[in-house]
Amino acid sequence: MKVGDILIINNIRNKFLSFNIKKHKKKMQKLYNGSNITIISNNCLAGVIYNILGLEFCSPTINQWMKMAEYYEFVSNLKYYMQCELVENVEESKNWKFPVGTLIAKDSSHNNLNIYFNHYDTFENAKTKWENRKQKILWDKLYVIYDFNDKDFDGELLYKFDELPYKHKISLTHYKSFDEIKNTYKMNCISDNEDIVKEFDYYGLSGKRYFEEWDYIDFLTK
Per-residue pLDDT tens digits for 13-28: 899 999 999 999 999 9
Percent of the chain with pLDDT over 70: 96
pLDDT of residue 3 exceeding 60: no
pLDDT of residue 152 exceeding 90: no
Q: Residue 192's pLDDT band (boundaries 50, 70, 90)?
A: confident
CA distances (Å), origin 145, targets 87, 103, 119, 183 = 25, 20, 19, 10
The dihedral region occupied by 64, where left means phi > 0, alpha psi between -120 and 50, and beta the remainder, is beta
Q: How many CA atoms lie within 13 A of 222 on its CB side?
A: 10
Q: Can you give the pLDDT at residue 4?
A: 61
Q: Can you give the pLDDT at residue 11?
A: 82
Angle at Cα 49 formed by Cα 193 and Cα 136, nearest 5°? 130
DSSP letter assigned to residue 105: P
Q: Can you give the pLDDT at residue 193?
A: 86
| Rounded CA Rg of the chain | 19
Residues 214/185, Cβ–Cβ less than 8 Å: yes
In single-letter form, the type of residue at position 183 comes to N
Angle at Cα 31 formed by Cα 15 and Cα 214, nearest 5°? 80
**Alpha-carbon gap, residue 118 to 8, rounded angstroms:** 32
Per-residue pLDDT tens digits for 198-214: 999 999 999 999 999 99
Beta bridge partners of 108: none
Mean pLDDT of the chain: 94
Per-residue pLDDT tens digits for 61-72: 999 999 999 999
pLDDT of residue 9 exceeding 90: no
Q: Residue 8's pLDDT band (boundaries 50, 70, 90)?
A: low
Q: Which of these, 143, 155, 145, 130, lies nearest to 69 by C-alpha position? A: 155
Which residues lie closer than 8 Å to 68 by C-beta, 6 or more apart?
42, 148, 149, 153, 157
